[in-house]
Structure 1
Amino acid sequence: MSKYQGPPEAVAAKIANLVRAAEAHKDLYIDQELFELEMSQLFANTWVYVGHASQVPKGGDFTTTTVGTQPVVMVRQADGSIKVLHNRCPHKGVKVAGEACGNTGKFFRCPYHAWTFKTDGKLLAMPLKKGYENTGFDSCEASQGMAAVEAVQVYRDFVFCRLSPTGIGFADYFGESLSTIDNMVDRSPEGKLEVAGGVLRYMHNCNWKMLVDNQTDTCHPMVAHESSAGTAVKVWQQAPAGTPKPMAVELFAPFMNPYEFFENMGIRVWDNGHGHTGVSDSIHADYSAVPGYREQMVAAYGEERAKAILGDVRHNTVYFPNIMVKGPIQTLRLFKPIAANKTLVESWTFRLVGAPDMLLERTLMYNRLVNAPTSVVGHDDLEMYERAQEGLQSMGRDWINVSRLYDPAEHGQVNVATNGTNELQMRNQYRAWAKFMAAATPTDLQTQENPA
């Protein structure tokens, strides 16, 4: 019998009871029915990352992805604007854009029956059109073409959408958290990023929220990564005196910092589930200087502004529900839910336009060493996720604990900075989860009146 069917109020109450002040029920990670509710409710009512404008530089350029489990296509229009369309032919339901990316020209063509659609989704033509005369076709759903996502926002070339036509606005949803994107873009002397180096993808046999939780879990690096990053550091320590420190060691070594380092670096939370580690320090704070880069930044922004930009060394910023951004190293990880126990991870890298190539080299090396299918560090985390996914099936306990440094006074607070090992950001994410799951009941969707 279904746990999550019935009157909307009853379903909302059941969902709310899955999150306590400092605990979350294991069903959030293992229940497939609850996962499906997340896809239809949580991912419809939050602003979800779709892609970067540099992926579609010319009219007709497109890239395909998913929002939750909904297939969508992001496409550049002839006038330079960007549209997000549901990737479904209104005729028989076939995915229209079947490739990961490309250029469709002036229209999309369904590969099944050759219906064609303008790049904004409107129906352009179909074979044997006379066969639809006097059938009422003009008033049916199919005549409207590929459905466009109404709520789309491009912020400094980062493209987000909200599948629900009504709900929380973009600015209200993200608020001050957008400062992380601002900092990453401003690290370019020209104030511009572009996707570079392709994308690394690999499957995780675990729930998507495990990856989101991990991004601000600062009590695991010195434990889980001892065998990988720790080994690399030990090997380096045996190098002859005077040996230049390899870039890889610079990237690995900070993972082995002690608890005190992570406590002191701090964590900040914002409303709606967003937050970041690295308030006053981070594992990205002590990389070697890149020749000429600082001079470029000073020339572009002035001494004071350049110092402020480069001095902001946030570690991981979580944009709820499912991306993490590393501003100082210019990477973005997208956690794409597939099933309750399966998540596809995409790791994207960006070029700072106008900056020295060595910065992109460091970004790409970090991505390979930490986030790739061949990663040394990332598989430590993957093993923990999969062990957790298996362990949560146990009947021995029902709740996950995130009570480290819990304070009842934290409820309702936003833009709060605290101890870097505080599990406040995880609690913040659970509260946002409950909020947007409840906001997506049919009754609420009919009464929301705050379009983007």
Structure 2
Amino acid sequence: MDTKVSTPRSYDSQYDLDVGDLVEKERIHRRVFADQDVFEQEMDQIFGKSWIYVGHESQVPNPGDYFSTQVGRQPVVMTRHKNGEIYVLENRCPHKGALVCPDRNGTAKHFMCMYHGWRFDGDGSLISVPVQSGYDGTEFNVKDPKNGMRQLPRVHNHHGFVFASLSPEGLDFKTWAGEGLRGLDNLIDRSPSGELEVIGNCYRTVQNSNWKIFLDNMSDGMHTSFVHHQMARAAQRTLEKFKGRARPGGLDVAAMLAGEPDQMAKIDLVAHPHGHFDMAAFAPELTGEDGEHYKAALIARHGADKAAAVLKQNFHNVMMFPTLVMQQSLQQMRVLRPISVDKTALEIWVFRFKGAPDSFTRRAITGGNLANSPSNVVAADDFEAYFRVHQGLKGPQSEWISLHREANRDVQVGEGSFKGATGNSEVCMRNMYKAWREYMTAETTRREI
């Protein structure tokens, strides 16, 4: 495979770099973010081959239900077949290529392409075509599975969370997920019944920046004292008004963001193989009658020791590279869908823990409105920062971006995992771009970094 990156289409470049040379141990080249040709390779090498989050099984609870989304460039539809199984299909008619399911979600006994009336079952198999006699004597066979809506080559359902890959080859799901699963499993373990369900639709925004800038920010504790300072101070003043009373969800976390950088240094950052990471901090307090009922329900499910261990894992952000960021204690999940080199769709899904008090659901929704809705008062600060970063990276004069902070202090904590010396470390960013480089040069001989 030719890994040479051609001259960007939107501006001149001083150098013609090999894609493997865009990432070094402690710095990365601006073209990782700003080059259209690099983006095209990402869509093939990363989003075309890795495991990508599709959706949760609660989004298709009944036979005939479907949910449509994207895996990389490919429109897909997740379906619940009449046999109860979940399938992930290419959302295109094999006849002329039209979208079969243009709606975000719905219910259908069968799928029918509006263009020429081809009909498909919930597993993608072709049921019928109009005027079938027109195909007599040809090589076309209605019963041939190749003539249906094709199933993606690899699909994995991890306790209700559905992932898929466009490539028939590559790491199996559990090897790819590795330590990243401890965050996903913690989310599941926090439900007293072991079951979760998506609440309604998602919050959806489009960021005018490259998709990796958002992922950078998810492990960047240093920015909060500056980007979110005014919002966090307002949250602190609001909390003072609720002393001794139930507090609106999300305010505790928002108020914490007003601290000095030394406060963020106290959090734990751990980077894992394949680009994943977790950040441990910012758990809402479980107080009051509902909090006690919830803890009792967890003990009934897990036993006292495991329930305590589940609640002790207070992950604020857990990232499964390249698309998924979870916030377990806030019952939220953020999903990236790259649109172009400088546009990224962000979906935020809120979950209900089945068996938990209703107040937990209300808190999750309120927290989502506060921090993740299109009119939120938290992420709006971040979006402006992302935009400024991307705009600054368009210029060709300054080429390199620093990832040096605490680079010589990373501590190995497992096979391939590293913990930052403090929560201000850029260890997770360095780890993510190392994985990015491995994806992008997977078919080439590369030097070690």
TM over 0.5: yes
Q: Is residue 411–residue 419 contact of structure 2 (8 Å, CA) maintained in 1?
A: no
* Partner in structure 1 of residue 176 of structure 2: 173
The match for 1:79 among 83, 88, 93 is 83
Q: Deviations 1:172-215 (Å, cap 9, x if unpaired)?
A: 10112201111111111111111114211011111111111111
The match for 2:48 among 21, 32, 44 is 44
The match for 1:274 among 270, 273, 276 is 276
Residues 53-452 of structure 1: pairs in structure 2 closer than 5 A? 53-105=57-109, 107-138=110-141, 144-234=147-237, 236-237=239-240, 239=241, 245-278=247-280, 282-286=281-285, 288-289=287-288, 290-407=291-408, 414-418=416-420, 419-439=422-442
Q: Distance in 1 between matches of 2:62 and 2:107?
A: 8
With over 3 angstroms needed to count, the CA separation of the structure-2 counterparts of 1:116 and 1:262, relative to structure 1, is: same
Moved over 6 A (4+): 139-142, 240-244, 408-412
Offset at 1:408?
8.7
Q: Distance in 2 between matches of 1:250 and 1:140?
A: 58
Q: Deviations 1:395-448 (Å, cap 9, x if unpaired)?
A: 33111111111139779962333321111111111111111122267x9xxxxx
Q: Distance in 1 between matches of 2:68 and 2:360?
A: 28
- List runs of 5+ in structure 2 lacking aligned partners: 7-16
Offset at 1:137?
2.5
Q: Is residue 248–residue 363 contact of structure 2 (8 Å, CA) maintained in 1?
A: no
Letter in 1 for 2:177: F
Q: Is residue 84–residue 149 contact of structure 1 (8 Å, CA) maintained in 2?
A: yes
Q: Distance in 2 between matches of 1:116 and 1:242?
A: 60
* TM value normalised by structure 2: 0.90
CA RMSD of aligned residues (A): 2.6
Letter in 2 for 1:276: D
Letter in 1 for 2:138: T
Count of residue pairs brought into register by the alignment:
431
Q: Deviations 1:88-112 (Å, cap 9, x if unpaired)?
A: 111111000111011121x211011
Q: Is residue 42–residue 440 contact of structure 1 (8 Å, CA) maintained in 2?
A: no
Q: Which deviates more from structure 2 when the two are superposed, residues 298-307 or residues 381-390? A: 298-307
Offset at 1:358?
0.9
Letter in 2 for 1:38: E
With over 3 angstroms needed to count, the CA separation of the structure-2 counterparts of 1:254 and 1:46, relative to structure 1, is: same
With over 3 angstroms needed to count, the CA separation of the structure-2 counterparts of 1:248 and 1:333, relative to structure 1, is: closer
3-state SS, counterpart of residue 206 of structure 2: strand
Q: Is residue 371–residue 377 contact of structure 1 (8 Å, CA) maintained in 2?
A: yes
Q: Distance in 1 between matches of 2:44 and 2:151?
A: 17
Q: Is residue 90–residue 141 contact of structure 1 (8 Å, CA) maintained in 2?
A: no
Q: Distance in 2 between matches of 1:190 and 1:117?
A: 35
With over 3 angstroms needed to count, the CA separation of the structure-2 counterparts of 1:219 and 1:409, relative to structure 1, is: closer
Q: Is residue 318–residue 325 contact of structure 1 (8 Å, CA) maintained in 2?
A: yes
* TM value normalised by structure 1: 0.89
Offset at 1:361?
1.1
Q: Distance in 1 between matches of 2:410 and 2:182?
A: 25
Counterpart check, 1:32 vs 2:33: no
Q: Is residue 213–residue 426 contact of structure 1 (8 Å, CA) maintained in 2?
A: yes
Offset at 1:260?
2.5
- List runs of 5+ in structure 1 lacking aligned partners: 6-12, 444-452
